[in-house]
Amino acid sequence: MKSLPSLLPLALLVSSLLASSIICPAQQPAPPAKAKRAPNPAMDPIQDVAGLPRVLLIGDSISIGYTVATRKLLAGKANVHRIPTNGGPTKNGVANIAKWLGTGTWDVIHFNWGIHDLKYMPDGKRQVEPADYEANLRSLVATLKATGAKLIWATTTPIPAGDLNPPRRFGQVPEYNAIAAKVMAENGVATDDLNAHITPQLATMQNPRDVHYTGAGSEYLAKKVAEAISEALAK
C-alpha cells in the first residue's frame, strides 16, 4: 500500500483539473445557436414615391402572402403599404384600426377579416361568433369609410376539409362571407372575390392540409388584388 505522501501529487493534479473546469467555463463547448427567422419582406416599411396614390392592405397571413407580389405589380402606379402585423380576427381590428390607419391619407384600402374569426377555440366557440363578426365589421367599415378612401372588401379564401396542419378546426367560410357580403352591400363597398378566384386552383395552389398558399398561389391572388386596386384608382 502506498503511503499518504506518495498520493499527494495525484490528489493535487485532480484538484487542479476540477478547479480549471469550474473557473474556466469558456473552455466548455457552447450550445448551438438557434437559427433566426429571416424578416418577412411584406412587413418592410414603404417609402412613398411622391405623386403616387397610397394604398393600404389589411388582412391576415393570406394577405401577408400576396403583399410583396402586389407591390411589384403596382410598382410605379401606387405606394402599397400594409398593416405591420397579422390582422387576426375582427375584434383585433376594432382594437387596432386607428393605429393602423395612422394620420396619413389613404386613396384605397383593401381589407379582409374572417379566417381567424371562424376558428374554434378550446371552449368550443368560434373566436368571433357570427353576430359579433357582423357587429365588428360594421364598426370597422364605418371607421374605414371615414378616411375618405375607396374601400375594397376581399372575401375570405377557402379552408380545406379534414385534419389540418397545424391542427385547427374552423367554422364555415360561406357563412361568414355571406355576413360580410350583406354588410358591404349595405355600405356600398366594392368586393374583390378572392374566394371565387382561387377556388378552381386549390388543388395546385393551396398547401396540403393548410389554409395557406404556395408561392404561385400567392402570386395568383396578388394579380386579382392588383387588378381590383387598379380599377378603384381609375374611378
CA–CA separation, 100 and 71 (whole Å): 18
In this structure, what C-alpha cell is assigned to residue 81? 403599404
Separation between Cα atoms, residue 215 and residue 221, nearest integer Å = 10
Q: What is d(CA 16, CA 215) in angstroms, rounded to the nearest whole number?
A: 60
Inter-residue contact 130 to 173 (CB < 8 Å): no
Ranges of residues in the chain with a pLDDT under 70 are: 1-36
pLDDT, position 189:
98
pTM of the model: 0.84
Name the strand (E) or helix (H) holding 122: none
* 8 A C-beta contact, residue 232 and residue 226: no
Grid coordinates of 163:
385534419
**E strand or H helix that includes residue 210:** none
What is the Cα–Cα distance from 62 to 70, expressed in whole angstroms?
A: 12
pLDDT value for 15: 53
